[in-house]
Amino acid sequence: MLTRNSPDLIVVGAGVVGAACAYYAARSGLSVTVIDRGSVAGGTTGAGEGNLLVSDKEPGPELELALLSTRLWRELADVLPHRIEYEAKGGLVVASGEASLAVLRDFAARQERAGVRVRQIGSDRLRDLEPHLAGDLAGGFHYPQDAQVQPALAAAHLLRTVGGHGSGRVLLRLGEEVTGILKGASGEVRGVRTASGDLHAPYVVNAAGTWGGRLARFAGVDLPVLPRRGFVLVTEPLPRMVRHKVYTADYVADVASGSAALQTSAVVEGTPAGPVLIGASRERVGFDRTLSVEALRRLAAQATRLFPVLAGVRAIRTYAGFRPYLPDHLPAIGSDPRVPGLLHACGHEGAGIGLAPATGTIVARIVSGAGLPMDITPFGPDRFEGTSQPRKEPRHGA
């Protein structure tokens, strides 16, 4: 039962999205309990590159969400200086030929009309931005709003940096798995069940990432979240040789694709610590963590095509992660009308780190009763109701 000591809301998931929900809710004066069966950033967040991108998003609701998050990340960078390794490095999208350059030009024009800052870079000027780029590229587009954070640090500091006048509190319960959603007599949320006992609250936020569909089913609703596996190659520490986030036109198409097959398109970026990160691959294989030699081979070949200097650099490790994929490529954000008190903040696919602050702000404003910063209708959690979506049941503990 609810008592004076019950939190105002429970956030299930201690990744960066859950952390942002807790941060903004506490800043609104609410008390929050964050619960996760693992550690902070122990799932998809910890396997991310930290992309904060507007450059890869079609004009529409996701881009609007990204532009809001871009402003909020800049504010957070002022609150959390250096601790989250925020870099306003900008992005550079390049084309290998005239045909792909024309596609990028049309894409950039539409983005610019939607509020994105972008400028075309001629083939003769690409090396002014990236001296080590291959010399035979047709041109590209520079996106100064693209940035990067260290995602695990970002999640951790969002959860610990709450305080001051008017702020609520955040309590962490890690290593504790949610096994059910508690409901009242009218079907409304009353809290969550764990192996340690019941925890009561009038609101529960599903920020369980790739496992968001499983948590939704605990509440008796369907949310067709599927895992989309990706690998990242990490090089040995190097002097800073990649200044921006650099990727090819193919990456934009892969992000929008619904294919289950293996797709790879080079995304190359340096880090403050020295290693270069090389992504990105996508495939729907359930929660299979088996190393894909083919995916890594493709990534290495595409990266060295962009930056020939990398051919002589050692890759020292690789890691895999699972993007929480929804069929229309939009996250589920907001109240679930099927279960009063249940909110969703999951299904962001590969954009969760970038979209976390806007998502957290929306969730906090819903619970606190404040006005919303944008129209969230396209992210409605019940938009798949009545549709037939294929779903592979996640293996427990994956």
- d(CA 212, CA 15) in angstroms, rounded, equals 12
**In a shared domain, residues 135 and 232:** yes
Highest-confidence range of 139-153, 241-255, 257-271, by mean pLDDT? 139-153
- By the 10 Å C-beta count (0-12 exposed, 13-18 middle, 19+ buried), 83 is classed as middle
Residue 394 predicted with pLDDT over 80:
no
pLDDT value of residue 163: 56
Single-letter amino acid code for the residue at 77: A
Residue 258 predicted with pLDDT over 90:
no
pLDDT value of residue 397: 35
34: phi then psi, degrees, rounded to nearest 5? -105, 125
pLDDT value of residue 82: 79
Q: Stretch 16-20: mean pLDDT, rounded? A: 98
Residue 133 inside a domain? The answer is yes
- d(CA 328, CA 274) in angstroms, rounded, equals 36
**In a shared domain, residues 257 and 188:** no
Residue 26 predicted with pLDDT over 60:
yes
pLDDT value of residue 339: 98
Q: Stretch 148-175: mean pLDDT, rounded? A: 87
Alpha-carbon radius of gyration of the chain: 21
**In a shared domain, residues 307 and 233:** yes
**In a shared domain, residues 135 and 159:** no
Residue 247 inside a domain? The answer is yes
Rounded mean pLDDT of the chain? 92
**In a shared domain, residues 163 and 211:** yes
- d(CA 297, CA 328) in angstroms, rounded, equals 29
% of the chain exceeding 90 in pLDDT:
85
- Select from 142, 10, 17, 131 the least CA-distant residue to 72: 17
Outline where 164-286 has alpha helix (H).
212-218, 249-256
pLDDT tens, position by position, 333-373? 999 999 999 999 999 999 999 999 999 999 999 999 999 99
- Select from 157, 216, 191, 162 the least CA-distant residue to 10: 191
- Convert 335-349 to b/e letters by CB count within 10 Å (16 or more is b): bbeebebbbbbbbbb
**In a shared domain, residues 123 and 250:** yes
Which segment of 143-152, 223-232, 249-258 scores lowest on mean pLDDT? Answer: 249-258
- Select from 84, 12, 14 the least CA-distant residue to 42: 14
Total number of domains constituting the chain: 2
Note down the domain range covering 252: 91-144+226-325
Q: Stretch 174-199: mean pLDDT, rounded? A: 97
pLDDT value of residue 257: 73
**In a shared domain, residues 319 and 357:** no
- d(CA 47, CA 372) in angstroms, rounded, equals 30
Residue 84 predicted with pLDDT over 80:
yes
Pairing type for strands 119-122 and 139-143 reads: antiparallel
Residue 164 inside a domain? The answer is yes
Q: Stretch 32-37: mean pLDDT, rounded? A: 97
Cβ neighbours around 321 below 10 Å, total: 22
**In a shared domain, residues 257 and 215:** no
**In a shared domain, residues 241 and 310:** yes
H or E element that contains 115: none
- d(CA 168, CA 385) in angstroms, rounded, equals 35
- Select from 209, 199, 148, 245 the least CA-distant residue to 32: 199
Residue 351 inside a domain? The answer is yes
**In a shared domain, residues 112 and 252:** yes
pLDDT value of residue 354: 98
pLDDT value of residue 392: 40
**In a shared domain, residues 176 and 320:** no
- Residue 186, domain CATH: 3.50.50.60
**In a shared domain, residues 200 and 212:** yes
